[in-house]
Structure 1
Amino acid sequence: MNVESDDKPSAVIHEGGCACGAFRFRATGRPIRASLCHCMTCRQVHGSAFGAYAIYARGDVQMSGAVSTWRSSDDGRRHFCPVCGSVAYMEFVSRDEIDLPIGAFDETGLFDPQYELWVKHREPWLPKGARPEYEEERPH
């Protein structure tokens, strides 16, 4: 649902959450960027060929509901709904960002990923060259 924010009158808010509704988020404005990730962790966590994320500044996302957290790397934290197991969000402790799964938003067609990460693990049947590609992580 697009709603106007009281504290940012011209900013659009996009809402979403987990499959059962126990975890919810509200993201204000546009994401910093959006991406597809083909790393093995994203593939396994999502049970899909890749993860798709809208990356927001931490201060632009409000969350409600409990999450369980898995330290997926020295820097990475993945948060899940403890009720239904849905991916709630991902973060890197070294960055002031929240990675929200694009499929968790209440609306479709909101964001067009600008690049793909870890394409060395991309399924061969997925199209190549649709956006900039990085064999592993993108330079920051």
Structure 2
Amino acid sequence: MAEAHAIRRNAPPPYRGGCLCGAVRYVAAAPTLGARICHCATCRAAMAAPYLAQAQFPRRAVSWEGTTARWRSSDRLYRHFCPRCGTRLFLEPRDAPRLGIPLATLDDPAAIQPEMHVWTCEALPWALGPDALPRYPQGSPLPYRKPAGA
């Protein structure tokens, strides 16, 4: 139910955004495969923030101008960032053809609504707001949606 509600509230693609200094600009030309707020310690440290609100897109639907650097934050994930200003831009799973984009880097960060909280077992007590989104102690039991035409 929350999934359908979040889709209805999202603005239509394309979604545009970029880094703080403007050296990297991106476009996500497809609907999101899902949007989640992750409270895990790795995402918190990588983002230097209390959580990571991000949306996943089919990899083929995301393009960008400018150069990113990346580092491997776990066995399955690369994190891309702007080498000039340091803005964290993309999460690239090694095991799936998709990219995560932090919602805060969108030109309109309210264009995509998160659908759930994940890894709440690691959440900072003050970082879980009073919203009605589903909460999962670890990863979501719901897979990301399939891209259209897949």
TM-score of the pair, normalised by structure 1: 0.86
Residues in 1 aligned to 2:43 and 2:130: alpha-carbon distance in whole angstroms: 19
- The higher relative CO (CA closer than 8 Å, separation ≥ 6) is in 2
**CA-based RMSD:** 1.5
Amino acid of the structure 2 residue aligned with 1:106 = D
Residues in 2 aligned to 1:134 and 1:116: alpha-carbon distance in whole angstroms: 6
Q: Specify the alignment match of 2:43 in structure 1.
A: 42
Q: Specify the alignment match of 2:93 in structure 1.
A: 92
Residues in 2 aligned to 1:54 and 1:75: alpha-carbon distance in whole angstroms: 17
**Percent identity of the aligned residues?**
34
- The unaligned stretches of length 5 or more in structure 2 are 1-11, 144-150
Residues in 2 aligned to 1:104 and 1:60: alpha-carbon distance in whole angstroms: 17
Are residue 137 (structure 1) and residue 143 (structure 2) matched? no
Q: Number of paired residues?
A: 130
Larger strand percent: 1
Q: Specify the alignment match of 2:58 in structure 1.
A: 57
Shift of 1:108: 3.0
CA offsets per residue over residues 53-78 of structure 1, 9 Å max, x none? 01111111111211111111111100
What aligned pairs does 1:1-140 form with structure 2 within 5 A after superposition?
12-125=13-126, 126-127=128-129, 130-139=132-141, 140=143
Larger helix percent: 2
TM-score of the pair, normalised by structure 2: 0.81
2:57 alignment partner, SS class: strand
